[in-house]
Amino acid sequence: MQHAGQQDRLADLRLRIAHLEGGIRKTRPLPFGIREIDHHLPGGGLARGALHELVEAGMAAEFAGCATLFTAGIAARLNGPVLWCLTRRDLFAPGLSRAGLHPDRVIYAEAAHERDLLSLVEEGLHERGLAAVVGEMTRLGLTASRRLQLAAEGSGVTALVIRRWWTVAEKDLVKLPTAATTRWRISPVPSEVMPAPGLGWDRWQVELLRCRGAEPRTWFLEACDAKGRLALPAGLADGQDQAAIRRAAAQ
Amino acid sequence: MALAQAQALVPNLHVADATPDEDEASLRELARWAIGYSPVVAPDPPDGLWIDIAGVAHLFGSEENLLEDLTDRLTGRGIAVRAAVADAPGAAWAVARFGAGGIVPADRTADMVAPLPVRALRLSADKLGTLHRLGIERVGQLAAMPRAPMVRRFGRDVALRLDQALGHAFEPISPLIPHETPMASCVFAEPIGRSDDLKTILLRLSQDLCRQLERRGEGARRLDLIIQRIDQKGANLRVGTAKPTRDARHLAKLFDERMQTIDPGFGIEEVVLVASKVEPLREMQTEARVIAGDSTSEADMGRLVDRLGARIGTGKVYRLAPVQSLIPERMVRKIPPLAPPTGSAWPQTLPRPTRLLDPPEPVVVTALLPDHPPALFVWRKVRHRVAKADGPERIVPEWWNGDAGSVPRDYYRIETEQGGRFWIFRDAPADQGGNWWMHGLFS
């Protein structure tokens, strides 16, 4: 009985905190469609109208190949047009459409300087009815990220920031704290060994580094399919222990 | 000469009252007609017309042709006309009325103006009287006098008129703006300087402008904001919109970003907002444009695109549409952000990277057998061991696009032992000495 009372009180407190924060989420979070992740995230999915930060790790992390596809997958599963703000032209649009993000839905805004990006992303976040604003940013300090978070809360547009860097000094900037609701780290891991020569479906190690209201956690997932959905690798779907896979990957 | 005296001299004299108002109205009418020659035209009552032909003479072949065309047309309408082209409005005024007219060569303004009577300087009657009493009849005489005593004796206005006639002093002409252009303006009793005030004024002006546009059933495609400072310096800002609109708040907001570039100096005394380009817009702007695949969103992409365009330039906001080509560099083409949905996407059957290196970067490769995918490659000084590979996918050059001389590429998808996936290609078979290139990165 005492336990149930505690639950109620917790729920009540959560509601009051949400009130204080100003943004009572009217929109349901976006589920990943994977039970393990959705149960772990508060509200059962990725919060809409919030700032999410994506970092890539791996051998060619500065290109953020995985993080880009991961982001495209999230954007594809939201409804409506997407604004994609960038400074470098290394994005290959046919690759995005592989995650189900139709080219008609994406408007690109190309800034000449990194310093213009923040205002572009913020401008996009003020436009209600956009599905998401994606920004490929190097610098995102506490103040800047707080601004984006507030803008996202105000309009309900989801902000997805892919952290990019070009020099070693810029790479260190990525480690600094931000006010983002969640921070994810995506890194490629070896795919399943196929019986014949060739490549299996790509696999990622998806780490939730920071999340308001949830513990950090790591999952091994298969990359987005043509509808932007992630999946648990076939060997894991039937309830195999994640930790075992992690150990296997570590070896 | 009194009227009675004139009538005594000429028995059948026809007498008509002077109608300065009507004359001025006709002059404005004429000025409006002359906009066909140059956008900057100003009536100069009672009997003159300024036309700023800077940058338009070549449309008529030369200044001579333009002048001939203008005088022919006016003479054809029964208007007695004298015209001159000069570097300075003052010089043209003088030469047209008191000189031979025609073209005043750029370096001969002083020579052409000097022999003219001092009346050619647009001076008041009492100044002319003073000059006459002192025996100064020609502009040249006045110009030859030592400057300081001349200013002291005749006053600054004489010196200014002289400078204007000789082209030493800048003389602004306030152009006639055709009635057809919707505009809103605001003159301040007290000059303003704070940017907040300017924003408030701008919103009010744009509301005014939008009401005008609504009456006419039009929407603005381009806006000019003209700001006059009290020290006679001005600033202009121009913004464009992706589609006709008459949403006052939105239009005012487009200027926000660039408002900071305006230096109010000692204060701004006049602000004019002109819709210099308009397009028909019949329906009220309540309908929202929705980009493919969405029913609930009400994003007005036109507004967003305008605001982004005002920040970074309209060419920098775009959509990417598929092109029927297999050459990676050619698969994408930029289209305007509000172009109708193309409905087509890239083929899904062949995996394509999310990041493309343009141009491709060379890699050093070790392959077990000449035609095998690489077992090891070095890219950007880092050695990658290849765990799995898929390929080759041969992409042949498109001879119909003019690259008949280039070679087919064999693309491989490579997965390294760490799991990173790369898209590399060889530009010729191994036995022909093909080189390897890194072209893209997968997830």
Query: Inter-chain contact A190–B417, Cβ cutoff 8 Å?
Result: yes
**B77 plus B190 within the same structural domain:** no
Q: Residue B288: closest CA among chain A residues belongs to which residue?
A: A129
Mean pLDDT of chain B: 85
Pairs from B257-260 (Cβ < 8 Å, separation ≥ 24): B257/A119, B257/B310, B257/B311, B258/B310, B259/B195, B259/B198, B259/B199, B259/B202, B260/B195
**B128 plus B198 within the same structural domain:** no
What is the CATH classification number for the domain harbouring B224?
A: 3.30.1490.100
Selecting from A119, A188, A199 the residue whose C-beta is nearest the C-beta of B420 gives A188
Query: CA-to-CA distance for A73 and A231, rounded, in angstroms?
Result: 12
**B161 plus B51 within the same structural domain:** yes
pLDDT tens, B197-243?
Answer: 888 999 999 999 999 988 888 888 888 898 888 887 778 888 888 88
Domain boundary among B236, B252, B280: B280
Measure in Å the smallest separation between the Cα of A116 and chain B Cα atoms: 8
Whether A181 shows a pLDDT value over 90: the answer reads: yes
pLDDT of residue B431: 74
Whether B180 shows a pLDDT value over 80: the answer reads: no
Q: Residue B339: closest CA among chain A residues belongs to which residue?
A: A104
pLDDT of residue A22: 61
Buried b or exposed e, range B6-35, using 16+ CB within 10 angstroms: eeeeeeeeeeeeeeeeeeeeebbeebbebb
Locate B121 and state its tokens: 């300087």
The residue ranges of every structural domain in chain A are 27-250
Whether A232 shows a pLDDT value over 70: the answer reads: yes
Q: Picking from A217-221, A247-251, B203-207, B371-375, which range would have the lowest pLDDT averaged per residue?
A: A247-251
E strand or H helix at B346: none
Q: Which residue has the tokens 């002006």?
A: B205
**B47 plus B162 within the same structural domain:** yes
pLDDT of residue B298: 45
The three-point CA angle B141-B147-B148 to 5° equals: 135
Grouping H, G, I as helix, E, B as strand and the rest as coil, residue A41 is coil
Query: Inter-chain contact B332–A94, Cβ cutoff 8 Å?
Result: yes
**B55 plus B161 within the same structural domain:** yes
Mutation target among A85, A106, A199 for the B interface, most CBs of B within 10 A: A199
Mean pLDDT of A237-241: 49
Query: CA-to-CA distance for B331 and B179, rounded, in angstroms?
Result: 48
For residues B314 and B242, the answer to whether their CB atoms sit within 8 Å is yes
Chain A environment of B440 (Cβ under 8 Å): 92, 95
Q: Residue B329: closest CA among chain A residues belongs to which residue?
A: A92
Whether B2 shows a pLDDT value over 60: the answer reads: yes
Query: CA-to-CA distance for B420 and A61, rounded, in angstroms?
Result: 9
Of A130-139, B294-303, B348-357, the range with the highest mean pLDDT is A130-139
Of A19-23, B61-65, B429-433, the range with the highest mean pLDDT is B61-65
pLDDT tens, B271-281?
Answer: 999 988 888 88
pLDDT of residue B297: 41
CA-CA-CA-CA torsion for B343, B349, B350, B353, nearest 10 degrees?
60
Locate B405 and state its tokens: 């001389």
**B270 plus B363 within the same structural domain:** no
> Where on the phi/psi map is residue A213: left (φ > 0), alpha (ψ -120 to 50), or beta?
left
**B50 plus B146 within the same structural domain:** yes
Query: Inter-chain contact B443–A204, Cβ cutoff 8 Å?
Result: yes
Query: Inter-chain contact A104–B441, Cβ cutoff 8 Å?
Result: no
| CATH of range A27-250; options 3.40.50.300, 3.40.50.620, 3.40.640.10, 3.40.50.1820 | 3.40.50.300
Mean pLDDT of A80-108: 91
Cα Dmax for chain A: 61
Question: Quick one: what percent of chain B has pLDDT higher than 90?
Answer: 15
pLDDT tens, A15-30?
Answer: 787 777 665 555 788 9
DSSP alpha helix (H) spans, B77-107:
89-98
**B187 plus B157 within the same structural domain:** no
Confidence of residue B288 (pLDDT cuts 50, 70, 90): very low
pLDDT of residue A206: 94
pLDDT of residue B315: 86
Mean pLDDT of A30-57: 91
pLDDT tens, B379-402?
Answer: 989 999 999 998 888 888 888 877
Selecting from B257, B321, B418 the residue whose C-beta is nearest the C-beta of A58 gives B418
Expressed in angstroms, the distance from the first to the final Cα of chain B is 97
Query: Inter-chain contact B316–A197, Cβ cutoff 8 Å?
Result: no
Expressed in angstroms, the distance from the first to the final Cα of chain A is 46
- A79 touching chain B per CB within 8 A: yes
Question: Quick one: what percent of chain A has pLDDT higher than 90?
Answer: 49
pLDDT tens, B29-39?
Answer: 888 888 888 88
- Count of domains forming chain B: 3
Domain boundary among B264, B280, B296: B280
E strand or H helix at B151: helix B147-154
**B81 plus B106 within the same structural domain:** yes
- A59 touching chain B per CB within 8 A: yes
pLDDT of residue B40: 84
- B387 touching chain A per CB within 8 A: yes
pLDDT of residue B296: 38
Query: Inter-chain contact A129–B298, Cβ cutoff 8 Å?
Result: yes
Contact residues, A window 160-189, toward B, CB-based 8 Å cutoff: 187-189
Whether B246 shows a pLDDT value over 60: the answer reads: yes
CA dihedral sign of residues B310, B314, B315, B317: positive
**B54 plus B127 within the same structural domain:** yes
- B253 touching chain A per CB within 8 A: no
Query: CA-to-CA distance for B413 and A199, rounded, in angstroms?
Result: 8
Locate B151 and state its tokens: 């200013």
Mean pLDDT of A7-16: 83
Query: CA-to-CA distance for B117 and B442, rounded, in angstroms?
Result: 83
pLDDT of residue B221: 87
ipTM of the complex: 0.85
Q: How many CA atoms lie within 13 A of A87 on its CB side?
A: 19
**B101 plus B52 within the same structural domain:** yes
Mean pLDDT of chain A: 86
Domain that holds residue B414: 355-441
Whether B344 shows a pLDDT value over 90: the answer reads: no
Domain boundary among B280, B298, B322: B280
Query: How are strands ordered across the β-sheet holding A182-189?
Result: A217-222, A203-211, A182-189, A51-56, A158-163, A132-137, A82-86, A106-110, B317-322, B332-335
Q: Is the pTM of this model over 0.80?
A: no
Selecting from B290, B331, B355 the residue whose C-beta is nearest the C-beta of A90 gives B355
**B228 plus B143 within the same structural domain:** no
- B383 touching chain A per CB within 8 A: no
Residue B305: CB atoms within 10 A of its CB come to 25
Q: Which residue has the tokens 């039937």?
A: A238
pLDDT of residue B440: 92
Q: Residue A60: closest CA among chain B residues belongs to which residue?
A: B420
Chain B environment of A128 (Cβ under 8 Å): 298-299
Closest C-alpha to B383, from B365, B402, B403: B365
The three-point CA angle B194-B199-B204 to 5° equals: 130
pLDDT tens, B357-382?
Answer: 988 999 998 888 877 888 999 998 99
CA dihedral sign of residues A214, A218, A221, A226: positive
Mutation target among A27, A28, A54, A59 for the B interface, most CBs of B within 10 A: A59
The full DSSP string for A99-164 is TT--GGGEEEEE-SSHHHHHHHHHHHHTSTT-SEEEEEES---HHHHHHHHHHHHHH-PEEEEEE-
Whether B106 shows a pLDDT value over 90: the answer reads: no
Chain B environment of A187 (Cβ under 8 Å): 419
Chain A environment of B317 (Cβ under 8 Å): 107-110
Confidence of residue A249 (pLDDT cuts 50, 70, 90): low
